[in-house]
Structure formats: C-alpha cells, structure tokens
Structure 1
C-alpha cells in the first residue's frame, strides 16, 4: 500500500521501521485508495492514523476500534493489528519510535483529535522522508508528540473476549448484526445457559451482553454513516424496525443523535 513517499523515482511502499528518523509522517489520498483491508501485521514503531474522511476499523486480539472522521487511532509498536477501511479514506499519519521518557498510551486506543494536532499532522506530512534533524522540523514533531500525549481517549472501543464459546457467538453477531436474538437464544446456540453467557461476557469484557451488543451497534453505525450510508440504511442493517428506535438507542449510548454526531465530524 503506497502510503509513504519513496526516496527513489520508483513509487512503492517504504517500511517505516527502516527509515532512520524518530517520526515518519505520511498522507492518505482518497483518490488513490478505495475500500481495502490489511491482514494482521505489526510494526516496531508505534503508529498514529488520523481520519479526515471515510472510516477505519482496527482489530487486535483483545479489541476492536472504529475511527470516524476527525478522530485517530494510536497503535503501540509491536501490536498485531488488522485494518479495514470503509469508503474512500482520506487522512494523515505518523510512525513513531518512542524515546526514553516519552509518555504515550501503552495500549491501542482511539483518540479525539484537537485542531492543533490535526494541523501538525497535515504540515508534517509534507516533510521529506529523510528530513533534516535538529532544527525546525524536529521542534515541530516534538510539539506534535506533546499534543498527542495530551489528547483525550475516544469511546469507540469494543473489548473482545478470548473464550472460544463467546468468540463463536460474537463472530456470528458481527456477521449478522441485524439478528436481534435474546441473551438466552444466543446462549442456547452454544450449549450454555443465559447466566453462564452473562457471567463469561462480564468477566472477559467488563460489559454485560446487552451493553456489549449496544456498543457494537453504535460502532457499526458510525462506521457505516462515515462510509456514506443513510440513517435509514443503518437502522435496517442493525435490525431496528424504525429509525426513531435506532436513534433512541444511539443517543442513549453516545449522548447525541446519530445525525448530529456525524454532522459535528
């Protein structure tokens, strides 16, 4: 995936871990990339991806994150992750080799992007791949990292259980989110009681089964809306009989209506 500028005349991918700079920045052009997926992989450097347009999801062994417009995801170095893009993605990013004493999140997380952080990423994306160190460029990137360290964590995260029985249920739910089966119905499909399913879900995710499904619905809704789907389409895809019932669920979970949520982004 040709996101990074190549120092030679030939276009192509440059492994950011091989670039001898503490911060490697890049841009993502909507006209160059459509929807795509990246299989599980990892980098030695940590990664920041800011979404300007479209939506991106990141999956690790223990969680799923949705990144809508005006948000970003932070992926610590060494984290095995898979990326999936919905719609045409436009944004900016950076690979960061953390220096001793740098305080940045130790786990994968989505973050709310401040106007300053966004402008710093846009400006940094125009730097040469092998920019001169020790001057204005290095100072700008140091401010970028300071702004990143102070960014607020966003809420579009879904913890994923490891229990095989739960994963079988969750795989089906994620493939067929319109299935509105009850807790007991889902439990019977894997030979569990409803109490066992609820206990396992709470122990492994910190959420009740119902709260987990609600959070998944909100995340999928944000992803589809950012990809250009209408609220009516999203409500139907999630199995809601009407737009008002879907909007009520979304507002209860996110504190804001789906239309206003996307308009603000």
Structure 2
C-alpha cells in the first residue's frame, strides 16, 4: 500500500481486536496532519523512520522500534522518503498497554507476529488461527521495553518556536544565550521556562532533540562525521559521547544493530 493514508480505509469502521497494514511510503517525505482514532495505534518502523507528534511531545521511531499511541490521542505523523512501516490498530481495552504515548523496543518475535497479521485478508481475520496469532501478540506486547526517544514540547509559543527552529537549523541555534537574546529575556528566566514547559533543563532538552535528529540523519545514510557536523559539533568524539549517553551505544554500533534486523 502506498502512502500513509491507507487509501481511505477507516480503521475504526471494524471492531476486530487487532488489524495491521504494511505501508511503503512514496519517494517524497509524507506527513499526515493531526488526527485521532478510537482504536489504539502502534506504528512500527521497518525501514527509514517516522516522527510522531502529540500535544506535548515528539517521538522519533527508528527501525526495530515502535511508537504506541493510545485510543483517542490526537497525533500527526511524518515519514522519511521510501520508509517502510507497519500500522497495528488495536481495539480499546483488549491488551494491557500504557495509557500514554511511548516508544517500545520491538522484539523479533513481536515484529514477525505483526507482519504476519498484516498479510491477513478480511476473511482470514475471522479464522481461529488468526485469533490465536492475535492472542500470542497480545501476550507479548506488554513485555516490550520502553525507550526514551521522545522530545518534550508544549503549546507555549517560545518552546514551539525553539523546537521547530532547532530541528531545521540545529547547527545554527545551539545555546541558551542565543535564544535569550532572540526573545529579549534573561537566560535565567528562559531556563526556568524550559524546565517548566518540558521538565528538562535546556541542555538536556537540546541533547534529546539532537539525539532524535542524529537518528534521522544516520538512518538516512549520513556518516557519523557528517551527522556531527550537521548538529553543530566541532568534535566528532563529543557527538559520539552524547549519543552513547543517550542510547547506550556508539552511533556506528547502534545503526549496525538496526540494519541487521530491518527489511
């Protein structure tokens, strides 16, 4: 299926416990504006990446991971060019998943169960064998570990402007001093605003955004050095240190581990 719109299919029109679709994004980057479903939605990245945004946070979903969006949570999606994704829609109150958005690290078993479900026709969804597949999936899903791949944001216009500008020009807008001067306010007051609106210090918040952007660049094929330069790092070593603190591995090792399991 091409694109992110499911060719007009409404996932809420049926009451199956779970239904999945494998998606191949067309060459250009695709974005779906703010929307919501009665069903909960799990978005699994197979190749490329997808960014999901809700009211107060943004998630970056690389291969081997998925973002869980509970029932009725408004969200928008943006996929990288040529990304391959799998959408899993789950009927409310059928499986014990978190009641808030989160990123899950998906095991090979769960990944294959979801992909198998995505091959089922409407008629096959009604078969006992498919019901058993869904039961196995529902047994495994709650055991998937959560990962911190989200960026806290808010509706505050200053925080929104900072996140959008730094995402577009990460090397040009790096310091609290720059932003304080731009907003004509003291660094102390701006630092307090960032903590109030995001729960993180400016430094930690910036590093989390850089981590998300780094994953996007690395997955798109940029080298570690190119990614470090794009994010404004004078030293590749400093970038690697930041990345390892955030995800527990060097960029090269992390991307290698993703590519060995992506399709």
Q: Scaled by the length of structure 1, what TM-score is found?
A: 0.89
Structure 1 position 252 matched with structure 2 position 252: no
Match of 2:261 in 1: none
Which of 83, 87, 90 in structure 1 is aligned with 2:84?
90
| Offset, 1:125 | 0.9
Give the SS at the match of 2:86: strand
8 Å CA contact retained: 2:107, 2:144? yes
Q: Find the aligned partners of 2:14 and 2:3 in 1 and give their Cα distance.
A: 14
| Offset, 1:252 | 2.7
Q: Find the aligned partners of 1:173 and 1:64 in 2 and give their Cα distance.
A: 14
Comparing both structures, which one devotes a greater share of its residues to helix? 2
Structure 1 position 196 matched with structure 2 position 225: no
8 Å CA contact retained: 2:57, 2:151? yes
Match of 2:23 in 1: 28
Q: Find the aligned partners of 2:145 and 2:172 in 1 and give their Cα distance.
A: 34
Which of 9, 12, 15 in structure 1 is aligned with 2:10?
15
Instruction: From the superposition, tell whether residues 243 and 97 of structure 1 become closer, same or farther in structure 2 (CA, over 3 Å).
Output: same
Greater alpha carbon shift after TM alignment, 255-264 vs 158-167: 158-167
Match of 1:158 in 2: 151
Q: CA RMSD in A?
A: 2.2
Q: Find the aligned partners of 1:217 and 1:132 in 2 and give their Cα distance.
A: 42
Greater alpha carbon shift after TM alignment, 214-223 vs 196-205: 196-205
Structure 1 position 149 matched with structure 2 position 130: no
Q: Scaled by the length of structure 2, what TM-score is found?
A: 0.90
Match of 1:234 in 2: 227
Structure 1 position 124 matched with structure 2 position 117: yes
> What is the correspondence of 1:167-246 to structure 2 with a 5 Å cutoff?
167-246=160-239
Give the SS at the match of 1:201: helix
| Offset, 1:173 | 1.8
Q: Find the aligned partners of 2:170 and 2:72 in 1 and give their Cα distance.
A: 31
Instruction: From the superposition, tell whether residues 242 and 132 of structure 1 become closer, same or farther in structure 2 (CA, over 3 Å).
Output: closer
Instruction: From the superposition, tell whether residues 99 and 180 of structure 1 become closer, same or farther in structure 2 (CA, over 3 Å).
Output: closer
Q: Find the aligned partners of 1:180 and 1:206 in 2 and give their Cα distance.
A: 20
8 Å CA contact retained: 2:166, 2:173? no
Instruction: From the superposition, tell whether residues 49 and 139 of structure 1 become closer, same or farther in structure 2 (CA, over 3 Å).
Output: same
Q: Which runs of 5+ in 2 are unaligned?
A: 259-263
Which of 67, 77, 89 in structure 2 is aligned with 1:73?
67
Give the SS at the match of 1:88: coil
Match of 2:102 in 1: 109
Q: Which runs of 5+ in 1 are unaligned?
A: 7-11
Instruction: From the superposition, tell whether residues 224 and 244 of structure 1 become closer, same or farther in structure 2 (CA, over 3 Å).
Output: same
Q: Find the aligned partners of 1:151 and 1:69 in 2 and give their Cα distance.
A: 15
Flag as ranges the 4+ runs of structure 1 deviating above 6 A. Answer: none
